[in-house]
């Protein structure tokens, strides 16, 4: 948690050269990611199987997001995204360690189901990053329209680069979401069972929203506020699909 927060403060407030700052962030980020992986190993891997409770899942997703951001940082100036998402990763570790939430995934589950879970986590992680990019893009667009060069504008990459990165991440997330849905239909015996129907329906609805957004971008050149609205709506529905059902089952109904 400390390594994540130090990387965050370095990205926001350090006064070194850009090259030195990026190297410092990379080192701190790698330390945080390695230690986070060890924490996940301790909190998730049980003798009965994998504990995919809501807080452990949030911690796992934040770890994947952190890893993807560090990989992207080697080629793109995205320190501003790290400065927002790394505190979330630190918070998720604290929540997973403090709150007990058990949702056991038994050992020896079929390979196809494992593939489905893997693609689902990747899809949500990538689309979380793109949702944050969309929010920053909205702030940039607002400040440019009102000619207010505030703190956000000084820290973010140029608007055109942010928009390019946004659609790259949406396209990648859409690919993983498609693979997640296909593997779910192929390998899960009844994907519309009572405990899965809301997740499945909302995930399909989110897929259609992202598909329409990418089609509008390709066909009509959608950008700016139009693209941001469609994307955030799709992400909100996907968030309900991934965490809404887990929240109700584990914390409200207390089912494992």
Q: Per-domain residue ranges for the chain?
A: 1-105, 109-256
**Is the pLDDT at 235 greater than 80, yes or no?**
yes
Cβ-proximal residues to 37 (8 Å cutoff; 6+ apart), any chain: 63
Burial class (CB in 10 A: 0-12, 13-18, 19+), 239: middle
Q: Which residue has the higher pLDDT, 250 or 82?
A: 82
What pLDDT, on a 0 to 100 scale, did the predictor assign at position 256?
A: 47
Q: What is the mean pLDDT of residues 88-111?
A: 77
Largest pairwise CA distance in the chain: 58
Residues forming beta bridges with residue 45, ordered by sequence position: 50
CB-CB contact of 127 with 121 (8 Å): no
The token pair that represents 249 in the structure block:
């089952």
Res. 165 pLDDT band, cuts 50 70 90 = confident
Strand ranges (DSSP E) for 25-93? 45-46, 49-51
| Strand, helix or coil for residue 104 | strand
174-187, pLDDT tens digit by residue? 999 999 999 988 88
- pLDDT surpassing 70 at residue 125: yes
Residue 141 confidence (pLDDT) above 70: yes
- Across the strands, what pairs with 46? 49
Greater confidence (13 vs 54) lies with 54
Residue 17 pLDDT: 60
Q: What pLDDT does residue 247 have? A: 61
Six-digit token string for 177: 């979401």
Does 7 or 141 have the greater pLDDT score?
A: 7
**Predicted confidence band at 20 (pLDDT cuts at 50, 70, 90)?**
confident
> Alpha-carbon distance 249 to 256, whole Å?
8
Averaged over 240-249, what is the pLDDT? Answer: 68
Q: What is the pLDDT of residue 103?
A: 63
Q: Which residue has the higher pLDDT, 255 or 68?
A: 68
Neighbours of 202 (CB within 10 A): 19
In percent, how much of the chain has pLDDT > 70?
82
Percent of the chain at pLDDT > 90 equals 25
**pLDDT > 80? residue 244:** no
pLDDT of 195 strictly over 90: no
């Amino acid at each position: 948690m400390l390594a994540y927060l130090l990387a965050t403060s370095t990205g926001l407030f350090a006064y070194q050269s850009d090259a030195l700052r990026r190297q410092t962030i990379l080192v701190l980020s790698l330390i945080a990611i390695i230690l986070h992986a060890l924490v996940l190993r301790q909190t998730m891997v049980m003798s009965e199987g994998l504990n995919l409770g809501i807080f452990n899942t949030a911690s796992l997703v934040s770890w994947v997001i952190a890893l993807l951001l560090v990989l992207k940082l080697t080629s793109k100036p995205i320190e501003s995204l790290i400065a927002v998402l790394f505190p979330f990763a630190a918070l998720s570790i604290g929540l997973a360690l403090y709150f007990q939430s058990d949702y056991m995934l038994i050992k020896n589950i079929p390979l196809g189901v494992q593939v489905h879970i893997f693609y689902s986590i990747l899809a949500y992680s990538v689309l979380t990053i793109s949702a944050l990019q969309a929010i920053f893009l909205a702030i940039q667009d607002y400040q440019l329209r009102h000619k207010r060069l505030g703190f956000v504008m000084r820290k973010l990459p140029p608007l055109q680069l942010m928009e390019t990165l946004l659609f790259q991440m949406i396209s990648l997330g859409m690919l993983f979401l498609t693979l997640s849905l296909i593997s779910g239909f192929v390998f899960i015996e009844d994907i519309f069972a009572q405990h899965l129907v809301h997740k499945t329906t909302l995930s399909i609805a989110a897929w259609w929203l992202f598909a329409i957004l990418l089609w509008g971008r390709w066909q009509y050149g959608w950008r700016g506020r139009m693209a941001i609205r469609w994307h955030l709506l799709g992400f909100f529905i996907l968030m309900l699909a991934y965490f809404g059902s887990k929240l109700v089952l584990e914390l409200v109904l207390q089912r494992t």
